[in-house]
Structure 1
Amino acid sequence: MANDYLAFFNLQQDPFRMPPDPFYFYPAERHNEILSSLNFAIEQKEGFFLATGEPGTGKTTILKVFIEHWNDRAEIALIMTPRLNPEEFLAAVLDDLKVPLSGNNKHDMIKEFRSFLLRTTAADRRVILIVDEAQNLPDETLEELRLLSNLETEKEKLIQIVLLGQPEFRERIMHSSLRQLNQRISVRSSLAPLSYQETVDYIQYRLMKSGATAILFDEAAKKSIYAYSGGIPRLINLSASRAMMAAFVDGSRQVRGKHADQAILHLQDAPHPAAKRFSRGAIAAVAAGVMMAGLVGIAGFRLNLSGHPGGAPSSPATAQTASQPAVETASTGSPQTLVIAAGKANLRVEPAMDARIAARADQGERFVITGWKDGDDDHAWYRISHSDGRELWVRADKVIKILDRKHP
């Protein structure tokens, strides 16, 4: 089904898949500036580089492009889970760099590390330590990081340290207890969301990289996506992907404003943390667009993107407590179906994130809805009928619902 979805739009691959991919790196002005600054800091053997930005603004994608650029000329340690104490952090760094150890105590570890740095520098290779989500580092580990930066010769630094984090990290290191670390950061950059024109170019750029030969999104769709995403690439990808799925279900090879609005209304049922900072006015405008689209109607079928298959939330009489939400059963009328909108969706035996995964579904697969439930984990869930006869559960934010079974 995923191949059918891509073929429908004449695409070779999914243009808005969520994992950061250097292939899709869009060289926006601010992103290019940060990448250039980062490369300059490594070339000049500056001690610390700091880049901050809101979640979803592209830090990880820039990081992957940077690593690709330096991979053949440097030894790189990448720490993605920085909630480590100093000893654990040092061990993780040495392990990532494949530094051989002759002892387990810290003195021996530092000694071996310095020898490794000297050998690598003599071979004209850089040693780069990258810490993603640096705002999660404990204070004592930040101090350990500062001490590692003391490993140097009289002429040059032996290790370059790159810190990526959210904006609060920049404020945190201003505290007096971290002033020595703060003083050592020689290059600082911050990521900002894309402008409206950059958002439009970003959407078209990713489509072209995926094989598109025509403009798939009309102006109304682009405006709705920008109003929802605020120019944050992760939210652009999320809303654009769901809008394309809505157009696919509609049988339309152009993604129109009504498709983007329908997708955004669905995403508002399971909002992304970064989306909360946008104005109520923008969301109200999107909702108004959906109401107009509803008056026009969609030939052949209707899309429903509310929190319940019937299109309206449960009445007070049927509402359940958060601790014991009831399973609602689909009506006995025309069967309601759903389409998997995410690239992959887990189908679980119970409506909970810790429930066993019984199967996986690809983007574009359809299932009949047999019930739904508001889960204990703040997610809404659909019970669906699987092709093997089992009834399984899928999270509501992974799907688009259809009220009848007429398909394009």
Structure 2
Amino acid sequence: MDYFSVLDFSREPFSNSPEPEFFYQSPQHVECLQKLELSVRLRRGLNTVIGDVGAGKTTISRQIIRRFADDKNVETYLMLDPYFGGPTEFLRAIIDILGIAGGNPDDTEWHLKEKIKNHLFDKGVGEGKTLVLIIDEGQKIPDFCLEILREFLNYETNEHKLLQIIIFAQKEFYGVLEAHTGFADRINFSYDLRPMNFTDTRAMIRFRLDTAGGGESDKKVRFTLPALWAIYRATGGYPRKIVGLCHRIILALIIQDRLKSGFALVRFCTRTGETHRRPWKMALVAVIGSVLITLIGLVFGYNLFFTEVPKGSGSGVALQPLDAVAIHAKVPPQAAVSPAEEKPSFHMVSPAEEEPPLHEPSAVENDPPRVISPAEEEPLHAERCPESLGWLIVKRDGTICKVIRGIYGRGCTPDRIALIRKANPHMQNPDRVEPGAMLKFPAVPYNFRPASEGVCWVAVARRDNLEDAYGLYEQYLDQLPPIQIFPHWNEREGLQFDVILKNCFVDEGAARSAIAELPSSISSDARIVKDWDKDTIFFSTVASG
């Protein structure tokens, strides 16, 4: 059985093969493809796509071949490795790729070039075909091959080039172009392929999960927002690294029989995927360890051999019992740091979003004390009220006031804006938050209880994290009567986010009537809420009768 079927995937979501169905159309990849296609159809000649390892060059090369697959007037040819020992070897390889018949082992370099030239004129002029030569790993091209390709670009009519060349290469190719200005001057279109940003990284992961999904299923793998951020920071936004890390995360989820990946699991999979360690760091640790051991040995040795023993009146010295000896030690007080003073870091993840790693190292009794972060202090289901509701990414059409009204259920007053600013010291101006900014929303308890007996509410959905709940809130905002998010916590359920109708109802009959008026796709999941557990802590307010 394939491993991915355990999670109800119809196919492997993070395969390292360039499968066309899993191509995520990020803005820069779409721009590169469109400009390449336009250049080929206009028959402009030489084009280059240059980027770091794992930036998606091979995927784009397969996509451009796929785009022309159904066009009978365009023929594409792929050269995977352009390194050759001499000009004749390179020319024979071109002849084989283009399918030119009548090869003779005794042909000279001039004869081989003439065969290629005649073939290009027969195809390009006689048959009206567009021939495209795609070269991968372009940084390996020898100097003599560049000169031959430059000659091929001289084969043209009054309107267009007879051979279209697309070179995909790594950053080293820039140096090659600087050394061959005659070749570089012939480039019609060049694209610098960069790593993806966080928004595209997040969208790519979700696109692959959705594409691999087996339709309607109770099993749905998801990554928390801190987990997605950790993936982005660990991979730098390079698609190949993202796919490799997500593949290890999926395997870890299968082993742990879980469906949700948090920040800690991503960090664990990142560490297990490292193939090397930095020697200088290990050497530094070894040196520091040796110095500490030496100092400790000197201190104990001095106390053992050079400390004077007090002389008693008798023949021996009376030792005090251990429990009677007072040990005086000055311990510097730890400065308490409030949550608002913390820097926004995903190491401080709410317990509702965090999971422990696969294997937690055992504590050593003699280790020196250290400050424990809230993310390490308690396990995932710790019975502790959270200090934060979670993180949100401000979208292009989002404002702080809009988010405050949706999450806290109250107006956008200066004190609430100040509360958000205090939790996000990196936010300079709340009236102008850049799109894509990540904001932390504190969990501020409200003293909320129903004002009259029998009052009930209608909850249209429930989620266990702020990101998903706010996504539903935005989705339903224009489809339903006034709604809001109602976050609450208790020891039994943990932190939960109900998306509810703002108005309360005097009895269940009125609530059922309201549910019946909702769209069928939403009313099927709606439920009536009469009350919450007595120990529930609320972080928002709603109408209470």
- Length-normalised TM-score, structure 2: 0.49
- Counterparts of 1:135-284 in structure 2, within 5 Å, are 135-175=139-179, 178-211=180-213, 214=220, 216-270=222-276
Matches of 1:243 and 1:256 in 2, distance apart?
A: 10
Matching residue's letter, 1:194:
M
Report if aligned partners of 2:47, 2:189 keep a CA contact under 8 Å in 1.
yes
- Provide the residue aligned with 1:91 in structure 2: 92
Report if aligned partners of 1:17, 1:237 keep a CA contact under 8 Å in 2.
yes
Match of 2:128 among 124, 127, 149: 124
Unaligned runs of 5+ in 1: 272-284, 311-408
- Provide the residue aligned with 2:75 in structure 1: 75
Matching residue's letter, 2:82:
P
Q: Which has the larger radius of gyration?
A: 2
Matches of 1:297 and 1:224 in 2, distance apart?
A: 15
Shift of 1:270: 4.5
Matches of 1:39 and 1:232 in 2, distance apart?
A: 24
Report if aligned partners of 2:87, 2:109 keep a CA contact under 8 Å in 1.
no
Report if aligned partners of 2:51, 2:169 keep a CA contact under 8 Å in 1.
yes
Matching residue's letter, 1:228:
A
- Counterparts of 1:253-332 in structure 2, within 5 Å, are 253-270=259-276, 302-303=358-359
Matches of 1:167 and 1:256 in 2, distance apart?
A: 34
SS of corresponding position for 2:147: helix
SS of corresponding position for 2:131: strand
CA 136–115 in structure 1, closer or farther in 2 if over 3 Å, else same: same
SS of corresponding position for 2:222: coil
Matches of 1:234 and 1:159 in 2, distance apart?
A: 31
Deviations 1:229-254 (A, max 9, x none): 11100000011110111111111012
Match of 2:6 among 5, 8, 18: 8
Matching residue's letter, 1:149:
L
Q: Do structure 1's residue 105 and structure 2's residue 108 form an aligned pair?
A: yes
SS of corresponding position for 2:17: coil
Shift of 1:157: 1.0
SS of corresponding position for 1:76: strand
Matching residue's letter, 1:303:
H
Report if aligned partners of 1:102, 1:108 keep a CA contact under 8 Å in 2.
no
Matches of 2:159 and 2:224 in 1, distance apart?
A: 57
Deviations 1:161-182 (A, max 9, x none): 111101221232112xx11101
Report if aligned partners of 2:47, 2:187 keep a CA contact under 8 Å in 1.
yes
CA 289–9 in structure 1, closer or farther in 2 if over 3 Å, else same: farther
Report if aligned partners of 2:46, 2:188 keep a CA contact under 8 Å in 1.
yes
What RMSD, in angstroms, separates the aligned Cα atoms of the two structures?
A: 2.6
SS of corresponding position for 1:41: helix
Shift of 1:264: 0.3
Matches of 1:269 and 1:263 in 2, distance apart?
A: 12
SS of corresponding position for 2:52: coil
SS of corresponding position for 1:150: coil
CA 270–9 in structure 1, closer or farther in 2 if over 3 Å, else same: farther
CA 42–296 in structure 1, closer or farther in 2 if over 3 Å, else same: closer
Q: Do structure 1's residue 65 and structure 2's residue 45 form an aligned pair?
A: no
Matches of 1:145 and 1:86 in 2, distance apart?
A: 11
Report if aligned partners of 2:265, 2:355 keep a CA contact under 8 Å in 1.
no
Matching residue's letter, 1:92:
A
Matches of 2:87 and 2:192 in 1, distance apart?
A: 27
Matches of 1:208 and 1:78 in 2, distance apart?
A: 31
- Provide the residue aligned with 1:133 in structure 2: 137
Report if aligned partners of 2:8, 2:213 keep a CA contact under 8 Å in 1.
yes
SS of corresponding position for 2:248: helix
Unaligned runs of 5+ in 2: 278-344, 363-545
Report if aligned partners of 2:265, 2:356 keep a CA contact under 8 Å in 1.
no
Matches of 2:238 and 2:275 in 1, distance apart?
A: 19
Shift of 1:88: 1.6
Matches of 1:102 and 1:22 in 2, distance apart?
A: 35
Report if aligned partners of 2:195, 2:239 keep a CA contact under 8 Å in 1.
yes
Matches of 1:102 and 1:239 in 2, distance apart?
A: 47
Instruction: Indicate the larger mover: 16-25 or 228-237.
Output: 16-25
Matching residue's letter, 2:123:
T
Matches of 1:201 and 1:68 in 2, distance apart?
A: 23
Percent identity between the two aligned chains = 27
Instruction: Indicate the larger mover: 95-104 or 56-65.
Output: 95-104
CA 91–296 in structure 1, closer or farther in 2 if over 3 Å, else same: closer
Report if aligned partners of 2:5, 2:11 keep a CA contact under 8 Å in 1.
no
- Counterparts of 1:46-61 in structure 2, within 5 Å, are 46-61=44-59
CA 296–61 in structure 1, closer or farther in 2 if over 3 Å, else same: closer
Deviations 1:64-120 (A, max 9, x none): 010011134322221111111322222111101111134322222222212211221
Report if aligned partners of 1:204, 1:215 keep a CA contact under 8 Å in 2.
no
Matches of 1:134 and 1:244 in 2, distance apart?
A: 34
Answer 1 or 2: higher relative contact order, Cα 8 Å, separation at least 6: 1
CA 38–296 in structure 1, closer or farther in 2 if over 3 Å, else same: closer
- Provide the residue aligned with 1:350 in structure 2: none
